[in-house]
Amino acid sequence: MRWTHFIAGALLLSALLIGDQAGAQRATLRAHAVVIGVSGYPNVRPGLQFPDDDAEAFAGFLRTPQGGGFDVTLLTNEEATRGAIYRALNGIAPNVGDRDIVYVFFAGHSVVGSDGVAYLMPYDGDEKLPVVNGITAAGFLRQVAELYGRASRVVVFVDACNSGAVMDPEGVAARGGEDINQALTTVWTRESALMNANEQRLVMGFFSAQARQLSYEHPLLGHGLFTHYLLRGLGGEADGFSPNSPEKDGIVRAYELRDFLQSNVSRHSRVLFNQVQDPVASPIFDRDFAMSTSSPGGRHRWVVPTSPVSRNQVSAQPAARRAPVDGEFVLRTGETTPVGDLQTFFGVWHAGGRHLSARLNGEEGSLEPGESFEFTHSGGACRVRFLSTADPDPDVEEDELHRFSLVCRPRGATRWPPPSRRQNSSWEPDFWLRVAQTTSLTDGRTFFGVLNWGVGINVWRTSIDVSLNGERHKLWAGDRLEVPGGAGKCFISYVRTEDPDIRIEGDEHHGFTVLCDGGEIRMAGQGPLAKPDLQLRTGQTVRIGDGQHFFGVRHWGWGINIDQTSILVALDDREHRLRAGARLQLTHSRGQCFISYMGTEDPNPERQGDERHGFAVACDP
């Protein structure tokens, strides 16, 4: 066997366009692409087989009406120098309009330098001196985000590798490994806040493998395994593939492509290579983006958004939502969905053997396959039946998929309707928070934050510790918490957690839904993870309220706060320790103010004093 030094990194950035509340409008858009593939390097050994073929095939698909009719700039092998790549990216930037589509695809080598930085390698890159002509992954993502900041949506595909890849005499090459995959995942997590700073667009990504896994290519495929199924999925095979997809509707959506890649790449890596390669999607994800039409002779029509919604920012008054009714739905262990109405939440918090433990608005019960239970809600009654459980990997905890059927009848009816085979889509959270992050809800004076999640408080990781205006609560899947403030009743429920790398603490994203009477979402201000009203460094003080009161940061970090999820502040010389979701109340000559700790940005954890602490401040007019 021969050892090679390899990556096929595929970065696909797309300005995606999605329908608005009242219904999607269509418009003529321009679609641009820069597609790059390098199979041979003068200063990196040995050369690769298929990155240039990957790039040419991807460019060819994008040029077709089915793929979106892109204007493509293609750079392969010696054409793809560092300077040429940047000239191509900068060259199309002035032509990108507010609603245009942009794809950037890269296939080639990558290395992780001795400094731990991940580099994409152009044709003139040197593996021994990547800092000279290499392109840092962070810099690449940041520059593309800045260049195409007017585009409405951005998608990143990364087919990654490392320096320990394996190639056998038949040319079966391993694309990727733990170093580059983990580095790129870390880069994505760190840069995502910057890339999503503009609420008019969304950056999301697909990665070819999890950290500590390789990504493979094979001469029988003529492509990398990930790119092979990427092309097949976009070509139509992903349409209707997801368990929660409706019947084939002629459109390949992002979540269908994600599920298609995860299933086929995972399965065929085991069959072809006797190895494990599991693609993953980024924590920030727009599931319904229409990526292509599934008909080879069809023409893909891009949908223009008038009210873009990203995962981390929810518009102030989004459209009303309906709870799943009359059909089948799937939940993973630890997931929650509304059922019947938008005040009733059902979730699975534990599964073992034939039994699973479920909760309905906090009331616990046990179910076996074939068993059902009935409940009443504001509009009538519903019956949930547990159908079956599928366990993709018995060695992995809490990855089971539980299928249920749901039938509902209106108030006053005495007969149950027949079961429907309609597939309800998974319930998507309204907002996502990390541990120590806070958002404001309903009236702007109600603050909700995540305190803790994981080992210690929750051995199964299917519950979460949260704070609502400083009061601590534990939410399990299927629980709900009434939210004060605003007109009518509002409830918040823990939907699920996404953990990109289970070995890394603190990269988890926790999803929640907050629903009020009528189904609307009521978020204060700009919604979750909006920019703080106030940012301070440790030791800084500002006037607040009527100008006669002072607020400052005294300490954050080790010593007072071993997990760095709270902060020591002072309000008029009185010390307070603020955790996520807590608030301080200030009464002054003009009224009241409420202050809540939203989280800390730490650009360099090894450097003390550069942290910026964010606060939400809500005062009477």
Is pLDDT at 180 greater than 60 in this prediction?
no
- The answer to whether residues 316 and 526 touch, using CB atoms and an 8 Å cutoff, is yes
HSE of 512 in the Cβ direction (CA atoms, 13 Å)? 37
pLDDT tens digits, 117-139: 778 889 998 888 887 888 887 77
Residues whose CB falls within 8 Å of the CB of residue 46, separated by 6 or more in sequence, listed in order: 2, 4, 5, 167
Nearest to 340 by CA among 387, 377, 386: 377
The single-letter DSSP state of residue 318 is P
- The answer to whether residues 479 and 487 touch, using CB atoms and an 8 Å cutoff, is no
* Average pLDDT, rounded, for the chain: 75
Cα–Cα distance for residue pair 18/153, rounded to 1 Å: 9
- The answer to whether residues 408 and 424 touch, using CB atoms and an 8 Å cutoff, is no
pLDDT tens digits, 389-436: 887 667 666 667 899 999 999 888 888 888 887 777 678 777 788 888
Q: How confident is the model at residue 502 (pLDDT cuts 50, 70, 90)?
A: low
Q: How confident is the model at residue 589 (pLDDT cuts 50, 70, 90)?
A: confident
Q: Which domains does the chain have, with CATH numbers?
A: 2-18+28-293 (3.40.50.1460), 311-529 (no CATH), 534-619 (no CATH)
According to the model, what pLDDT value does residue 487 have?
55
Is pLDDT at 498 greater than 60 in this prediction?
yes
Q: What SS3 state is found at 100? A: coil
pLDDT tens digits, 86-121: 899 888 888 888 778 888 888 888 777 766 677 888
Is pLDDT at 514 greater than 60 in this prediction?
yes
According to the model, what pLDDT value does residue 161 have?
59
**In this structure, what token pair is assigned to residue 592?**
């009241």
- The answer to whether residues 311 and 286 touch, using CB atoms and an 8 Å cutoff, is yes
Task: Pick from 58-67, 259-268, 306-315 the range whose average pLDDT is largest.
Answer: 58-67
User: Which residues partner with 154 through β-bridges?
Assistant: 203
**In this structure, what token pair is assigned to residue 504?**
């890394």
Q: What SS3 state is found at 2? A: strand
Is pLDDT at 246 greater than 50 in this prediction?
yes
- CA 500, 501, 507, 511 torsion: positive or negative? positive
- The answer to whether residues 35 and 58 touch, using CB atoms and an 8 Å cutoff, is yes
Worst-scoring range by mean pLDDT, 239-248, 300-309, 390-399, 400-409?
A: 300-309
Q: At what angle do helices 137-147 and 82-92 cross, to 10 degrees?
A: 20
Cα–Cα distance for residue pair 56/225, rounded to 1 Å: 16
Looking at the chain, the whole-number percentage of residues with pLDDT higher than 90 is: 13
Kindly report whether the peptide bond that precedes residue 46 is cis, defined as omega within 30 degrees of 0.
yes
Tell which wins on pLDDT, 457 or 583: 583
- The answer to whether residues 615 and 537 touch, using CB atoms and an 8 Å cutoff, is no
- CA 204, 205, 210, 211 torsion: positive or negative? negative
According to the model, what pLDDT value does residue 302 have?
67
Tell which wins on pLDDT, 384 or 490: 384
Q: What is the dihedral of CA 389, 394, 398, 399, to 10 degrees?
A: -70
Nearest to 498 by CA among 427, 425, 400, 432: 432
Is pLDDT at 234 greater than 90 in this prediction?
yes
Is pLDDT at 442 greater than 50 in this prediction?
yes
Q: What SS3 state is found at 576? A: strand
Element (H, E) at 350: strand 345-352
Q: What is the mean pLDDT of residues 239-244?
A: 76
Tell which wins on pLDDT, 270 or 494: 494
According to the model, what pLDDT value does residue 538 have?
87
According to the model, what pLDDT value does residue 385 have?
93
pLDDT tens digits, 21-75: 333 333 467 888 899 998 888 887 766 788 899 999 999 998 999 988 889 999 9
CA distance readout (Å), 255 to 143, 241, 464, 576: 26, 9, 26, 44
For the chain, state the CA radius of gyration.
25
Q: How confident is the model at residue 231 (pLDDT cuts 50, 70, 90)?
A: very high
Q: At what angle do helices 137-147 and 178-195 cross, to 10 degrees?
A: 30
pLDDT tens digits, 546-558: 888 999 998 886 5
Q: What is the mean pLDDT of residues 210-223?
A: 76
Nearest to 23 by CA among 217, 267, 305: 305
Q: What SS3 state is found at 564? A: coil
Worst-scoring range by mean pLDDT, 19-33, 145-159, 196-210, 582-596?
A: 19-33
- The answer to whether residues 173 and 161 touch, using CB atoms and an 8 Å cutoff, is no
**In this structure, what token pair is assigned to residue 49?**
């087989």
Nearest to 106 by CA among 132, 70, 144: 144
Q: What is the mean pLDDT of residues 341-363?
A: 86
According to the model, what pLDDT value does residue 165 have?
27
**In this structure, what token pair is assigned to residue 310?**
């990203």
Q: In angstroms, how far is CA 227 from the centroid of its own chain?
A: 21
- The answer to whether residues 537 and 569 touch, using CB atoms and an 8 Å cutoff, is no
Q: What is the mean pLDDT of residues 327-331?
A: 87
